[in-house]
Each structure stands twice: as structure tokens, then as C-alpha cells.
Amino acid sequence: MRLMGCSKWRAALNLGHLRVQSKLSVFFTMIILFTYLFYCLNGYCDSLPRPVYDQQSNHQNKITLKDGASQQEKITHNASQVFREQMSDFSDGSSDNISIANTFGSKKFPQAIIIGVKKGGTRALLEFLRIHPDVRAVGSEPHFFDRFYDKGLDWYRNLMPRTLEGQITMEKTPSYFITKEAPRRVFSMSRHTKLIVVVRDPVTRAVSDYTQTLTKSPGLPSFQNLAFRNATTGLIDTTWSAVRIGIYAKHLENWLRFFPLSRLLFVSGERLVTDPAGEMGRVQDFLGLKRVVTDKHFYFNQTKGFPCLKKPEGSSRPRCLGKSKGRPHPRIPSEVLHRLRDFYRPFNLKFYQMTGHDFGWD
């Protein structure tokens, strides 16, 4: 009897241990699954090795239908259409709209690129565009067509965010506009690429450019010393990048050798400040997007002197551009500015003729 009691006690103890081990296994499995899901939702799964079947050619892993589309593409299209319809009422979201698990959508070359100009308002334009649920854009400047072209198109495409059917991929690198090789390289990628150029009064733009450089290099010579080759004769130094960038007509000629004017949209940097909704309407029309970004999204920040995005739902504060935007400019002698304006005048007039738009800088 005593032996039988001990056997029963041991069996019960073993059963208890098994139950505890089972619960612990389930617990740790759930932790691993939730951790993996968290990293995927934040886009970190892109760095994981792709399965072998995913690296094989399309004809091996897709069933082609009669109309030429695969079952996978059909499912993706239908799902994305429903998803975008459900998301259309949430256009006040942050720049990470449609940021979901990377099993949705695919990485594509950008259909539209903001190619210029530096200190013209390109960052503001991109941030305003990212409100739109059908726009997905790279956050940082890729500099592919001017600095990293040797890395290849596959490297470039891998930088792009994933997009669903009906969304467009975008990037901005303002230095493309003044890079001689950039037009040919973009054209080689796709002749159908839409190009956006944000332009601003070249005199104001040059001062803003100088101001930005001065914050990084406090020992920089004065603006007038850099702008003129000879202060007595008033000869402008066009080798200084702050001056050279503002000769818009010269740079545009390079782009028009490869792209028709209809492929370019010229956005006024001044109007982007005074009437952001109106200028954004033009941009959305050019991109073939529904006018989702409207005046309800903006308010003017008197302190910064720039429009800001109104507080998105669920956010504790409105979204304004960084501290570097709207910084005060150093005082430049009026005579220097007048000489610089006289220098730019013929180039501005030619630019107006080329684009068919008078920006009113003179």
C-alpha cells in the first residue's frame, strides 16, 4: 500500500512538471512570435534572407491567368484597392501612412522625383506630399543619380519603400537638377519619370544657402567676398555653388535634352509658403492624384514664418519643419543684393520663357 501511494504521488508530480513545461513553452513561443511581428511591422524584416523560392524566376512561382496577370497580382490588387478605400478617410496621418508588414506591396523605381532645387522648399513639399495616402517616399536623400550611381539600379530600388497597387513611389535629391549626368541617368531608368523642381528667387535662395553653410562653418568669409570675383568691377563668381544653382535656365536646358517640358512641374517656393494648399493642388494634379491635401491641413506659424501641418489625429502636437527651417538670414548690404539681382535678371527671363511661367522675381 505504501509503495502504491508513492507511485501515485510521483506520477502526479511528473504530470505537474509536464503541465508547467507545456505552459512555459507556449509562453516563450508567444514572446518569439510577438517579437517577430513587431519587427516586421516596423520594416526590419527586409534585412532577413529571402527564401529560395522567392528568388526564383516569376514563371516558376506564379500561375499566369488569361489576361496576363498572376493570381498573386490579382489578390494584391483587390486587397490594396479595399485597403486604400478604407484609408482614404485618414489622410491626416503622419508620413508613415500605409506603413504595414512588408509582405504587402513591392519595391519599385520612383515614378516621380523632386530633383531641385537646394534651399527652394523641397523638404516642405515632400513632407506635405507624404500626408497623401497614395504617396510613399524615401525619407532621406538617396543621391543615387549624382553620387552613388555605380551601386546599380537594384541597390537604388531596394532603398524605396514598398507600395501597393495605385500608390506612387517618390524620392527627393535637390542636387540632381544641377548634376550634368543626372538627366541621362534618370532617362535610362525610365523616360516616363515625372520630375518636380521647386524654384525660388535665386537671390534669396543664395542667401539662404550661405546661411545654412555659415551655421556649419562659422569662420566662412562674408557673402559678398564669396559672391564676387572682383568687388570693384562687380564681376559675379559663378563657380560658387550658392550662385551657380540659381542659374535655373542653364540647368533646365540640360534636362530638356532628355525630357519634354510636359514631364516637369515647376513649383514656386514662395507660393509654397503663402498658399501651400493651392500649390499642393497643382502638384497632386501633375502626379495624377486625388486632391486630398487641402487647406484644412495647414496653418501658418508666425514664429517660423512658414506653414506647418495641423496636428494629426492622435498626435500631441502639430508637425513643423525642423529648427533649421526659417532661421534668420545675416544682413547683406543692399548694394550687393542689387548687383546680384541684376546678374540673375536675364537668366530669370529666359527661365520664364522656357517654362511658360512668370515667377515674379524681377
Strand 264-268 and strand 194-199: pairing?
A: parallel
Q: Report the C-alpha gap between 85 and 144 in whole angstroms.
A: 33
- Output the known binding site for 3'-phosphoadenylyl sulfate: 119-123, 200, 208, 325-329
- 20 grid coordinates: 508547467
- 310 grid coordinates: 495641423
Residues 121 and 273: beta-carbon distance below 8 Å = yes
Residues 172 and 95: beta-carbon distance below 8 Å = no
From the list 107, 118, 119, 296, the catalytic residue is 119
Residue type, 254: N
In the chain, how many H helices and how many E strands?
13, 11
- Output the known binding site: 119-123, 200, 208, 325-329
Say how many C-beta atoms besides its own lie within 10 A of residue 38's C-beta: 10
Instruction: Let me know if 311 is a catalytic residue.
Output: no
CB under 8 Å to 304, separation ≥6 — which residues? 320, 321, 325, 326
Omega before residue 273 within 30° of 0, cis? no
Residues 148 and 155: beta-carbon distance below 8 Å = yes
Say how many C-beta atoms besides its own lie within 10 A of residue 179's C-beta: 20
Omega before residue 117 within 30° of 0, cis? yes
Residue 103 backbone phi and psi in degrees, to 5? -80, -10
- The three-state secondary structure class of 286 is helix
Q: For residue 362, what are the CA distances in angstroms to 15, 203, 247, 336?
A: 89, 11, 14, 16
Catalytic machinery residues: 119
